[in-house]
Structure 1
């Protein structure tokens, strides 16, 4: 099986290199998709990603994994795939918000955030836009970090979080399974534990 990885905002495909290497060591093939949020609109990235997935789907069974914004992009791309396109065996959302993110809401008016995050950052801050990105119609696992600061000094209060998104922001009724890891948001893609979760799930999906 092939696993497609889509990185998060402000990162590159290299952010998932440790995880992808572990997947390949386990016998899985890998592919990556890159984008620059500051230079492309959300919709334009989704269109490119959809074409990439169509190409992969013609090659046989596959799974997809998206970190942070990458998971939102994957959900949007999969929702608009042409009829008859082979769907992924599994979707892995790695620290990926399924509703508007409170940090994006706080930052959305600041010029630096507007410059670096572009239209994608504004989407993450808009409940009405995020609500239009539907959940996948295939098994979906949310891999979430819970090592973020909690309490009076945390923007998330006492809620579990990974330092960027909270537990409620990565939770939805259509998610098949949720796995919590003692990791911060930035380090999730490099985690061996994330890779192991994907390997085990892909093994079950091919049985």
Structure 2
């Protein structure tokens, strides 16, 4: 199957290399998709993703794997995929709602400069709420973040950036909780094993 890997904010396609290696070992054609939140808009990146999907073989099934902001890009592009939706979507540490971390950081000029429009949209509750959700979807929510009253996320289970509730959204039945932190969740053994199993189950025959 064709599998597109889309990294998160502050990362590059390099962050997805180990996951790509493991999926390629199963015979999948794995493609990396890169972008820059500092230099690009969400609509611009979503348009490039749509064009990349359009370059896949006609009728060939494909899956999308997004990490953090990568899941927002996928959701923003979904409504324009028309009659060629993904066979499966995998969301790694997704902010399905406006995240507390983004709302807090959006006040800082350095965050606004480095993350551009997309960083601001992560803090916009109305925008995040109107994004469509793929079906089927598999969500991986990390719970290895610190929990203390004096930390920004308090004692809520979290991955260090996104809380468990923010990652679950309205689809808790699609969530697999893993003992992983936000930045490296794509390298977690349980996450990789589950993605491989889900892709095998989705393969024709």
**CA distance in 2: counterparts of 1:58 and 1:31, whole angstroms:** 16
Number of positions where the alignment pairs a residue of Structure 1 with one of Structure 2: 204
Unaligned regions of 5+ residues in structure 1, if any? none
2:156 to 135, 154, 159: 159
**CA distance in 1: counterparts of 2:16 and 2:142, whole angstroms:** 16
- 8 Å Cα contact 1:2-1:61 kept in structure 2: yes
| Equivalent runs, 1:107-186 vs 2, <5 Å | 107-136=105-134, 138-174=135-171, 177-186=174-183
In the TM superposition, what is the alpha-carbon distance from 1:6 to its structure 2 partner?
A: 0.3
- 8 Å Cα contact 1:141-1:176 kept in structure 2: no
In the TM superposition, what is the alpha-carbon distance from 1:59 to its structure 2 partner?
A: 5.7
TM-score scaled by length of structure 1: 0.93
**CA distance in 2: counterparts of 1:65 and 1:119, whole angstroms:** 22
Q: Equivalent residue for 1:194?
A: 191
TM-score scaled by length of structure 2: 0.94
- 8 Å Cα contact 1:64-1:90 kept in structure 2: yes
Q: Equivalent residue for 1:2?
A: 2
Unaligned regions of 5+ residues in structure 2, if any? none
In the TM superposition, what is the alpha-carbon distance from 1:64 to its structure 2 partner?
A: 0.7
**CA distance in 1: counterparts of 2:46 and 2:26, whole angstroms:** 29
**CA distance in 1: counterparts of 2:17 and 2:187, whole angstroms:** 7
**CA root-mean-square deviation:** 1.5
- 8 Å Cα contact 2:141-2:168 kept in structure 1: no
